[in-house]
Chain A
Amino acid sequence: MIAQRAAEKLKERFPDAVLSVSEFREQILVQVETSTVRDVCIFLRDDEELQFDMAIDVLGADRLVVEGTSEKADYINDPFDRQIRSKKQEISMNERFEVIYVLYSNKHKEYVRLKVSVAESGQKVPSVAPVWKSANWAEREAYDMFGIEFEGHPDLRRVYMPEYFEHFPLRKDFPLMGIPGSLPLPDKQ
C-alpha cells in the first residue's frame, strides 16, 4: 500500500505537520497542519517513490454540528430534524471547516487523502493551485460554497453562484430553501 508508505514518509519528513493518520474502508486519511499543506503537497508530488501527480479533487466541508457530542444521537433518531442546524457552536469555531485533498498516483494507481481544518473566519489555507493546475477550479468551488479563502490562488472568484451573491450555500447554517431576495431577478422593462 503506497498510501501507508506515504503517511510514514510524511511523518518522517514533517514530524510536526502530520497530526494524525486514520484508516477507514482501506483508505488512508492524513490530517496535516493547515499552514504546511502546500509543502506537504509539493513533497508528495515530487518524491521519486510516491509521485502523486494528480489532484483528483479538493473539497470543502462544514462540521458545524460535530461528532462525539450528544447531537449525533438526536441525528439518528430524527434524520430530518432541520432545526438541528440552529443548535450550533458545540465545537470550537477554530476548526469549523475542513479542506480535503484527494490525490492520485499514476505510477502506483492508488489514492491518498489529506485533510486540514480551517477556522470560521480569518484563517487562510495555502493554495495548491500552483502545485496542480486541476486544484484551481476545485478551490474556487470550495470558496464559492463555503467561503474558505485560499492564499496564493491565482484567480479566486466564485465559480457556480453569481459574483454578486453574498452567502455561501453549502454551509450548514444556510437554509435549504435559500434566502429570499438574495438572487435578484432582472428589472422588467
Chain B
Amino acid sequence: MNKDLIDPTKSKIYEALIDQYTSIESDDPLGSDMILNFGPQHPATHGVLRLLLRLDGERVIGCVPEVGYLHRGYEKLAENMTYHEYIPHTDRLDYLSPLSNNMGFALAVERLTGIEVPPRAQYIRTICSELARISSHLMATGSMAMDVGALTILLWTFREREKLYDIFEVLTGARFTTSYSRIGGVAQDMTEDVEKMIWQFLDYLPEAIQECERLLNRNRIFVERCDMIGIIEPDDAIAYGLTGPNLRGSGVERDLRRDTPYFVYPELDFKVITHEGGDSLARYYVRLDEMYESAKIVRQCLEKIPKGEIHANKPKKVLPSKERVYTRMEEMIHDFMIVNFGIHPPPGEMYSAVENPKGELGFYIQSKGGGVPWRLKIRSPSFVNIQSLPHLLSGVMVSDVVAVIGSIDPVMGEADK
C-alpha cells in the first residue's frame, strides 16, 4: 500500500475542497485564506462528523463534509441475519429515538410479508413513535441551545427526557436500546401503569417546554445567533432531499404521517407544523411545536386505544408468546423455525418509509424468498441532511457553523450506518 495516500494533505478530500472553488483566488497576500479541520472529535458536531472548511478571514467560503467514522456495515450485517435478529441493530441507527426505528423496520418487513397488525399493537406503535419523537426533539433543542451557549436548556430538556426513559424502561424493559417491536406486533403489552405514567408525563410536558421557551424565544443572544443563518430555500431543500423538521422549517408541508398513512395516523387529528424562513431559528421552532403536536397525538391514542391482541394471527410468521411456547407443541415448532430460519417473505422488492424525528427513514428490502434479506438498504435521514451542509454553510461566520449543525440535528449512528 502506498503510504502517501494516508498522508492527510494529499488526500482526495482536500482536493475536493480546493477543486470545487478554484474560481476564488487562493494566493492571498494578506494570508486570510485558510483551511480549518472541524471534527471528527469536536463536541459540537454531535458525534463524529468531520467538516473541512475553507475560510476567508472568519467567513466560510467552502465546506466538504466527511462521514464514515462510525460506519459499522449494518447493511452487510443485515444480509447475514434473519429479520428478527436485525431488530436490535435498528436501535443503533438513530440512537436518540430507537423506538421509532424499531417500528419503522417492523412495518417495512410486515408490508413485504403481507402481515396485518391488530389495532391495539398499532396504537402502541403510534404512541411509541410519538414518545420517541418528543425525546429526540427535546435532545435536539437542548443540544442546539448548548451549541450557541445556553447550557441551562440542555440540563432542563435532559431532565424531561429522563422521565421519558423511565417510561420506556417500564414499557420495554430497557431505557436506551429498546428493541421493542416484533414482526407482526410488539414485544409485550402496555400495562395500565405505563398508561398512567404517560398521562402524568403529558400533563407535565407543556409546562416544561414552555419553561424552555421562556428562556429562549425572547432571548436576544439566542435569537440573533440563529436568525438568518443557514438559510435554505424551499426549492433547494427539495432538491437536496431534506426531510422532516429541516424541510418543514423551509415551509414545505411534507409529512409522511399524513401523506402516506401508516399505523393509526389517518384516524388522528394533528397538524403538520411548518415555519417559513428556512433558517436555524425556523427549524428550532418547528421542533418545539412538533412536541406539542406529538403530545396531542399521544393523548388521542391513549383515549382511543382498544383492548385486544398485540400479535397478528399468522403462526408461521409471528413469534408466539412465551407461555405458549413452553406449553404447546405447535407453537414450540413455530418458535424454533422462526428463530433459526427466519420468516420467509415472498420474493420481491419494496420500499417502505416512516416519518422519524430526523426525517424520512426508509428501508428498501430485496427478498429472494429466504429467511434473510438479500439486500437491505437503509435510507437514513441524517445522511441526506448532512449532504446539504455545504449549501447551508456558504457565507456564514465560523462561529455560526455549530449553530447550523445543531439546527439540522444530525445523528451519526444513522448517517454512518
The reply to whether chain A is a binding partner of chain B is yes
* Docked complex: A43-89 residues within 8 A CB-CB of B: 53-57, 59, 61-62, 67, 72, 75-76, 79-80, 82
Instruction: Identify which of A9-17, A32-40, A131-139 touches chain B.
Output: A131-139
How far is the CB of B41 from the nearest CB of chain A, in Å? 15
Given A25-B111, A56-B241, A106-B238, also A72-B369 (CB < 8 A): yes
Range of interface residues on B (Cβ < 8 Å): 35 or more
Contacts of A163 in B (CB 8 A): 5, 11-13
Given A25-B111, A79-B342, A106-B238, also A134-B387 (CB < 8 A): yes
Contact B68 A161, beta carbon cutoff 8 Å: yes
Contacts of A54 in B (CB 8 A): 238-239, 241
Contacts of B80 in A (CB 8 A): 80, 82, 176
Identify the 9 closest CB pairs spanning chains A and B, nearest first.
Answer: A134-B241, A160-B68, A79-B371, A109-B259, A164-B5, A24-B348, A160-B71, A59-B377, A57-B379
Contact A164 B238, beta carbon cutoff 8 Å: no
Q: Which residue of B lies closest to A171 (CB)?
A: B76
User: Bound state CA distance, A174 and B73, in angstroms?
Assistant: 12
User: Bound state CA distance, A164 and B374, in angstroms?
Assistant: 28
Contact B67 A132, beta carbon cutoff 8 Å: no
User: Bound state CA distance, A25 and B348, in angstroms?
Assistant: 9
Contact B342 A57, beta carbon cutoff 8 Å: no
Contacts of B416 in A (CB 8 A): 160
Give how many A-B residue pairs fall within 8 Å (CB-CB). Answer: 127
B-contact 0/1 string along A145-157, CB 8 Å cutoff? 1000000000101
How far is the CB of B89 from the nearest CB of chain A, in Å? 14
A169 within 8 A of B: yes
User: Bound state CA distance, A159 and B6, in angstroms?
Assistant: 16
Range of interface residues on A (Cβ < 8 Å): 35 or more
The main secondary structure of chain B at its interface with chain A is: mixed
A111 within 8 A of B: yes
Contact A159 B68, beta carbon cutoff 8 Å: yes
How far is the CB of A84 from the nearest CB of chain B, in Å? 10
Contacts of A136 in B (CB 8 A): 387
A113 within 8 A of B: yes
How far is the CB of B290 from the nearest CB of chain A, in Å? 19
How far is the CB of B66 from the nearest CB of chain A, in Å? 8
Given A25-B112, A134-B387, A157-B12, also A76-B369 (CB < 8 A): yes
Having A67-B347, A133-B388, A164-B2, one finds 5 other A-B pairs with CB under 8 Å, namely: A106-B238, A133-B387, A134-B239, A157-B12, A162-B68
Residue among B77, B112, B374 with the most chain A CB within 10 A? B374
Residue in B112, B239, B259, B344 whose beta carbon sits within 8 Å of that of A133 in the complex: B239
Contact B349 A29, beta carbon cutoff 8 Å: yes
B329 within 8 A of A: no
Contact B379 A79, beta carbon cutoff 8 Å: no
A180 within 8 A of B: no
Contact A102 B351, beta carbon cutoff 8 Å: yes
Contact B362 A56, beta carbon cutoff 8 Å: yes
Residue in B1, B20, B75, B370 whose beta carbon sits within 8 Å of that of A79 in the complex: B370
A119 within 8 A of B: no
Given A24-B350, A161-B71, also A61-B238 (CB < 8 A): no
How far is the CB of B364 from the nearest CB of chain A, in Å? 6
User: Bound state CA distance, A100 and B347, in angstroms?
Assistant: 17
User: Bound state CA distance, A155 and B52, in angstroms?
Assistant: 15
Q: Which residue of B lies closest to A76 (CB)?
A: B370
Contact A170 B76, beta carbon cutoff 8 Å: yes
